[in-house]
Chains A and B, each alone.
Chain A
Amino acid sequence: QQQVKQSPQSLIVQKGGISIINCAYENTAFDYFPWYQQFPGKGPALLIAIRPDVSEKKEGRFTISFNKSAKQFSLHIMDSQPGDSATYFCAGAFQGAQKLVFGQGTRLTINP
């Protein structure tokens, strides 16, 4: 019940295109859904996050869409740039148990 399933495992998008990464969760106790971005040789860093009482959150070119009834959420990267090439992890978390449960990760490559 702790799982967070992420797809696709890898994604190649042309510069200027839209990158979409999907996640599904099982634990309905999760009340916080962050996305982390990891560049090679670096640790993951928080990119954007959403709570389940909100259906969408946008920060610049990055948007999270959240569907509570389907227990799914997704990350959209608009006007994707080569600098966005990284591994992206979705996660679920709930207060009182601070550990993050991560998805398997998506390796995103933006071709120039």
Chain B
Amino acid sequence: DSGVTQTPKHLITATGQRVTLRCSPRSGDLSVYWYQQSLDQGLQFLIQYYNGEERAKGNILERFSAQQFPDLHSELNLSSLELGDSALYFCASSVDPAGGPVGELFFGEGSRLTVL
């Protein structure tokens, strides 16, 4: 158990809808990262937050947004969903922006999104 909690584990929705994925980082971790894992794209970095502030942005679509709250949990909002958004969405956390050591991220078990 990595200590990172993600909900929901599974989500099925229709095209055009909006969903919110939630992540609680490990106790004491200030950084939260979101990754998308699909069969043909591997693990793609979406966005990173550190202590409530956006720290780095990756290949995140404009239809997607995220935030980190004062209690450090994070939410990833996906809107105007398309079939191609079906994927596993992972949240990861680390102690600080540079990790401890660098590159050591602790991943949750993911939220599987299916868009029909």
Give the size category of B's interface with A: 20 to 34
With both beta carbons as reference points, the residue of chain A lying nearest to B58 in the complex is identified as A99
In the assembled complex, A108 has its CB within 8 A of some CB on chain B: no
Query: Once bound together, how far apart are the Cα atoms of A31 and B102, in whole Å?
Result: 9
- Least Cβ distance of A41 to chain B in Å? 7
Residues of A within 8 A of B (CB-CB), count: 27
B48 touches A102 (CB 8 A): no
In the assembled complex, A45 has its CB within 8 A of some CB on chain B: yes
Among the 9-residue stretches B14-22, B65-73, B93-101, the one with 4 or more Cβ atoms under 8 Å from chain A is: B93-101
A43 touches B45 (CB 8 A): no
Residues on A with C-beta less than 8 A from B42 are 89, 102-105
Interface string of A76-102 (1 = CB under 8 A from B): 000000000000010101111111111
In the assembled complex, A61 has its CB within 8 A of some CB on chain B: no
Contact A98-B102, Cβ < 8 Å, known A43-B4, A103-B42: yes
21 A–B contacts from the bound complex (CB under 8 Å) = A43-B2, A43-B90, A43-B110, A44-B43, A44-B90, A44-B107, A45-B2, A89-B43, A93-B103, A97-B56, A98-B31, A98-B33, A98-B97, A98-B99, A98-B102, A99-B48, A99-B56, A100-B45, A102-B42, A104-B42, A105-B43
Point out residues on A near B: beta carbons under 8 Å: 31-34, 36, 41-46, 49, 89, 91, 93-105
